[in-house]
A and B are shown apart, each in its own frame.
Chain A
Amino acid sequence: DAKTTQPNSMESNEEEPVHLPCNHSTISGTDYIHWYRQLPSQGPEYVIHGLTSNVNNRMASLAIAEDRKSSTLILHRATLRDAAVYYCILIGAGGTSYGKLTFGQGTILTVHP
């Protein structure tokens, strides 16, 4: 399975934008880039996903590099409730990685008031 690399931790101030990077240099052409987050004492929660084009939803934006070897999750205005572990995950649309989420260590995001 293709691997992702994320910083161990990042910090932000409340109401400021946050850019969470992810490197995935071995991504294959059929891999989708998914982001999940896990709040304390809860199961992971879907945030956003994309293939090639940038994506926006009510929670965040996903910026995907043109060569798809990296992506950035953007939280436009961080709140204290955004403090969580953020996981960048590649999921294949077919083949042996079909449908499986393989979690890395993720990025621990701390949001300061």
Chain B
Amino acid sequence: DVKVTQSSRYLVKRTGEKVFLECVQDMDHENMFWYRQDPGLGLRLIYFSYDVKMKEKGDIPEGYSVSREKKERFSLILESASTNQTSMYLCASSLGGGDHYGYTFGSGTRLTVV
């Protein structure tokens, strides 16, 4: 089974800190995604990547950046954390487009910014 591992389940950071959320997948998937999930707003796409060193903005990229130096690892960076970035962050990976199955999600990182 494909596994998507997120480095932390729970994280508490202070306002203004630089925060790294790490995601690793073990099945050589090309595509990786970062979402955040908030009550009443559902899951929203922050950034995604179709290849190493490649990134594309999702629907809500403001305040975030990403890094993909290796195929298996996709990092989400909060340059200066703010309280409105308190959320559940979910990483996902996939082999291809809609004709492929196997969009696999991690268990999520619940980030609290105080």
Chain A interfacial positions (CB closer than 8 Å to B): 30-32, 34, 36, 41-46, 49, 51, 90-94, 97-106
Q: At the interface with chain A, which of B63-71, B77-85, B91-99? A: B91-99
With A43-B90, A43-B92: A106-B98 Cβ-Cβ less than 8 Å: no
Q: Which of B43, B94, B98, B102 contacts A44 (CB 8 A)?
A: B43
With A43-B107, A43-B108: A99-B96 Cβ-Cβ less than 8 Å: yes
Is the pair B101, A42 in contact by a Cβ cutoff of 8 Å? Answer: no
Chain B interfacial positions (CB closer than 8 Å to A): 4, 31, 33, 35, 42-45, 48, 50, 58-59, 90, 92, 94, 96-99, 101-108
Can you pick out 14 interface pairs between chain A and chain B where the beta carbons lie within 8 Å of each other?
Answer: A32-B97, A32-B98, A44-B43, A46-B102, A51-B99, A90-B98, A92-B97, A92-B98, A93-B97, A93-B98, A101-B33, A101-B43, A101-B92, A103-B43
Q: How far is the CB of B91 from chain A (nearest CB, A)?
A: 8
Q: How far is the CB of B104 from chain A (nearest CB, A)?
A: 7
Q: How far is the CB of B37 from chain A (nearest CB, A)?
A: 9
Residue among A91, A98, A100, A103 with the highest chain B CB neighbour number at 10 A? A100
**Which A residue sits closest to B99, measured CB to CB?**
A93
Q: How far is the CB of B108 from chain A (nearest CB, A)?
A: 5
Give Cα A99 to B33, complex, Å.
10
Tell me which residues across on chain A come within 8 A of B102, comparing CB atoms. 46
Q: Which of A45, A91, A105 contacts B98 (CB 8 A)?
A: A91
Is the pair B97, A42 in contact by a Cβ cutoff of 8 Å? Answer: no
Tell me which residues across on chain A come within 8 A of B48, comparing CB atoms. 99-100
Give Cα A94 to B42, complex, Å.
25
